[in-house]
Amino acid sequence: MAELHFFTGTMDSGKSTLALQTNHNHAARGRVGRIFTSNDRAGQAQLSSRLGLTHDALEVTPDFDFWRYVVTTLTQGGRVDYLICDEAQFYTRDQIDQLAKICDELQIDVFAFGILTDFRTQLFEGSSRLIELADRVNVLQVEALCWCGKRATHNARTEDGIMVTEGEVIVVGDVEEQGGPPAEVAYEVLCRQHHRRRLTAARAKAVSLAPEPLPFG
Ligand SMILES: Nc1ncnc2c1ncn2[C@@H]1O[C@H](COP(=O)(O)OP(=O)(O)O)[C@@H](O)[C@H]1O
Ligand SMILES: Cc1cn([C@H]2C[C@H](O)[C@@H](COP(=O)(O)O)O2)c(=O)[nH]c1=O
């Protein structure tokens, strides 16, 4: 029986790497797949991992119809055994419904990868529907860490180094190198407590370096 798998984790937890490894392992056994992504940092129609691997992919735009694409491919004599779907948080609810239908009606395995929540801690549309429909939800084993050493569970967005909680939901970007100059828009993974307190690594450092206040007015 084909299954709809959802692999999730914070940014920088190895999802795209696992997507490429999954594709490699299935292709190595002669299975034929298709790779999809949406708004990858490396550009349109690319699936890229921070470990340096990149693969051509089909770009998923909001009007893309997975069901139509797969049925057309099959009726034209093409073969499709599995789908790799990266950055699935950006897919629409309808597109996730199409993936479930492909799995059930055409017996094609679907491996979807994406972050759960946005910089405001709210579920992305695609991820929320995947949680509702997936046969298996897997949390990535490699844990990204907050600056305090705890497991990172949330994705923070910074603008010029300051954490923000308002703005456009989709802004393509990367986690920032520690110690480098602040980027216009960047992301940082944090534990819930530090996300709640808006305490990024830079702010924690600034606070710890601040002189102790004098004990009198
Ligand atoms: N220089 C490196 N050496 C070893 N591992 C690395 C290096 N750079 C990145 N990684 C690994 O790659 C992971 C990020 O992989 P990636 O697939 O791009 O993540 P995601 O798709 O979840 O954002 C990091 O958590 C880390 O484990
Ligand atoms: C939290 C958050 C993230 N994004 C973007 C930033 C990146 O381009 C991707 C996540 O990619 P990764 O492979 O998991 O590192 O999503 C966004 O647009 N909005 C957000 O709130």
Pairing between strand 109-114 and 82-85? parallel
Ligand that lies nearest to the alpha carbon of residue 122, given by its number in the listed order: 2
Known catalytic membership, residue 166: no
Determine the Cα–Cα distance for residues 70 and 82; give it in Å rounded to an integer.
10
Q: Atom 3 of ligand 1 has which residue's CA nearest to it?
A: 51
pLDDT digits (tens, 9 = 90+) for 36-61: 999 999 999 999 999 999 999 999 99
Whole-number Å distance, alpha carbon 75 to ligand 1 midpoint, is 39
pLDDT digits (tens, 9 = 90+) for 142-170: 989 999 999 999 999 999 999 999 999 99
Given pLDDT bands bounded at 50, 70 and 90, which one contains residue 181?
confident
Q: So what's the ipTM on this one?
A: 0.98
Confirm or reject: Cβ of 12 under 6 Å from ligand 2: yes
**Catalytic: which of 3, 59, 87, 125?**
87
CA of 168, closest atom in ligand 2: 19
* Structural domains of the chain, ranges and CATH numbers in brackets: 4-139 (3.40.50.300), 154-209 (no CATH)
**Sequence letter at residue 20:** L
pLDDT digits (tens, 9 = 90+) for 77-108: 999 999 999 999 999 999 999 999 999 999 99
This prediction's pTM = 0.96
DSSP 49-89: -TTS-EEE-EE--TT--HHHHHHHHHHTT----EEEE-SGG
Under DSSP, the state recorded for 90 is G
The neighbouring-strand residues paired with 55 are: 47
Which residues 6+ apart lie within 8 Å of 192 measured at CB?
A: 153, 154
- Tell which one of 163, 172, 176, 185 to mutate to probe ligand 2, the residue whose CB is within 8 A of the most ligand atoms: 172
